[in-house]
Structure formats: C-alpha cells, structure tokens
A and B are shown apart, each in its own frame.
Chain A
Amino acid sequence: MSAQPANPGDLLEGFDRTITQDQVEAYADAAGDHNPIHLDAEFAAKTPFGRRIAHGMLTLAMVSEMLTSAYPVNWASGGQLKVRFRAPVFPGEAVRVSGEVLKVAESDGVRTVEITLAVKKDDGEDVITGRAVVRVD
C-alpha cells in the first residue's frame, strides 16, 4: 500500500465507476431506501430529472471508500466530511472519484489533513463537491 496522503498536493487514489440500474436496485435494498425516483421509471419520468437517478448516498459511498483506502484506521475513527450533491447520476453514467490534500493543520500534537473531494462525470460536470478532514499519524 502506498503511503497515506499527508501533505498539500498529495492525491488520494481515485477511481472510475459506472453506476448501473442493477446497482441502484441492490443499493435500495441494502440501504432501505426505496424512493421511487431511483426505482420507478414511470414516476421518475414525471420529475424534473426525466428518468431514474442513482441515490446520492450510493455515490457518496464511493467517496467514503476512497477515504477508507487512503486512511484505513483514521477515516472511521475521527474522519469528517461535508459535501453537496451538485447533479444527479443517471444509471449507465460513469463517474470519477478523486481527492487531494489541500492543507495540513496541527493542534495539541494532533495532525490533520483537509482534503478536497470531487465526483465528476466524464464531461467534467460536478456530481459531488466537498471537503473531508482526517487525522494523520
């Protein structure tokens, strides 16, 4: 495993994923979120989105996966994030999950990194933007 990102400019190991309708349906069952905007094509067609969309929390789970991979202990023990959902992901679309250390802070001997988070579509459209803070050893 590579060293954990701990300095400004360090990149977290991002990844590309395509979200499928099968995945959305599996997520609905796993998370207990059966909102028809994700599952019911007829219902979704009447919304401003015009078709079914993936759960925002499904996409956010990928951000958490990236943070867990980068900080296997400290993300689940003291990690914080704050994000906005900027655009829906339609099943069949691919997204790129990424993160970059923005700055480092130290207080009472505890060192933390602030990370910019991004999930974007192939055309560059923002899906999720936000920040995370994680302690680094």
Chain B
Amino acid sequence: MPLQDLDSGHEFPPESLVISESEAAAYAAAVGDRSAQPSERVPSMAVIAAGLSRFIKQLGLADGTVEVVHASQEASFNRPITPGDILQIRATLKSNAERRGSRFATVEMLFVDDAGEAVAEASSLIVVNAS
C-alpha cells in the first residue's frame, strides 16, 4: 500500500529474518568492519539495516520512482544476534506526515527471537520526495 495512504499507527505484516553466517560475513566485508566475527555474531547494525530494507520495500519505496532519504536512526540492542537466529520483525508506522512537498515517515521495528524475547529495537525517520 502506498505510504501516503497509510495512517500513523499502521502495523505492517510481520517479517521473518534469519541472517546466515555467509550473509553476516558479506555485510561485514561490505561495510569494512574489522571488528566483526561473523561466524559467531552478526554485526549489530546488520539486523537493523536488513529490517529497514524490508519495510522500505513493503512501502513500495525501493523501485526508483521516488527519492528516499534516511534522516535519523535510533537503535538499541538487548543481546548479540548469532548467525541462524530466527527473528520476527514487528513494525509500526509511528508517524506519517507531509510537509512542504515531502513526506516524513517514522518506522519503528521490534526484533523478537523465537523465544519471544525482544533482541533489538529501532526507529527510522525517512523522507520521501516525489522525483
């Protein structure tokens, strides 16, 4: 559904997320993370990045028809993520408003493991300009 048609408080369909050892290694290599040990631990920000990408796609903002800019990011981590951990991402559109021709949307994500424990949380403010 287009972002402009969604109300604040909209809950996205949950997404499942599993980051494999090879995916963690690819992420660490791409960002140049020299501290990473991707066989033991997924780089913390990889989880947030993967989640945000999924909801950008759900909103239809990844197809090149609009210009999307990431304005701010909050994140908190409760425990390390191990490659292969099965996570569910529960996301809510916290705010969605148009100002001066741009749309400002905040997506909040909660990452929950298969025991039901929250392992990370994030809030992302994105700005969408029609191109």
Interface residue B26 (Cβ < 8 Å from any Cβ of A): yes
- Chain A residues with CB under 8 A of B110: none
- Contact present for A65 and B35 (CB under 8 Å): yes
- A7 smallest CB distance to B (angstroms): 22
- Contact present for B44 and A33 (CB under 8 Å): no
Contact with A along B6-18 (1 / 0, CB 8 A): 0000000000000
Assess A33 versus B53: contact at CB under 8 Å? Given A61-B43, A83-B72.
yes
Assess A58 versus B76: contact at CB under 8 Å? Given A35-B68, A36-B64, A47-B131.
no
- Contact present for A77 and B79 (CB under 8 Å): yes
Contact with B along A70-102 (1 / 0, CB 8 A): 001001111111111100000000000000000
- Contact present for B64 and A61 (CB under 8 Å): no
Interface residue B33 (Cβ < 8 Å from any Cβ of A): yes
Could you say which interface size class chain A belongs to? Answer: 35 or more
Interface residue A26 (Cβ < 8 Å from any Cβ of B): yes
- Chain A residues with CB under 8 A of B70: 55-57, 85
- Chain A residues with CB under 8 A of B27: 27, 30-31, 61
Closest 4 A-B residue pairs measured CB to CB? A61-B31, A26-B30, A56-B70, A32-B53
Q: List 17 A-B residue pairs with CB atoms under 8 Å apart, sorted by A's residue number.
A: A26-B30, A30-B23, A31-B30, A32-B54, A33-B49, A35-B64, A37-B68, A47-B131, A57-B52, A57-B73, A60-B73, A61-B27, A64-B44, A68-B35, A77-B79, A79-B76, A80-B77
Which A residues lie at the B interface, using CB under 8 A? 17, 23, 26-27, 29-37, 40, 43, 46-48, 55-58, 60-62, 64-65, 68-69, 72, 75-85
Known: A30-B27, A37-B69, A61-B27. 12 other contacts (CB 8 A): A27-B30, A29-B30, A30-B29, A33-B52, A35-B62, A56-B73, A57-B48, A64-B43, A79-B77, A83-B74, A84-B71, A85-B70
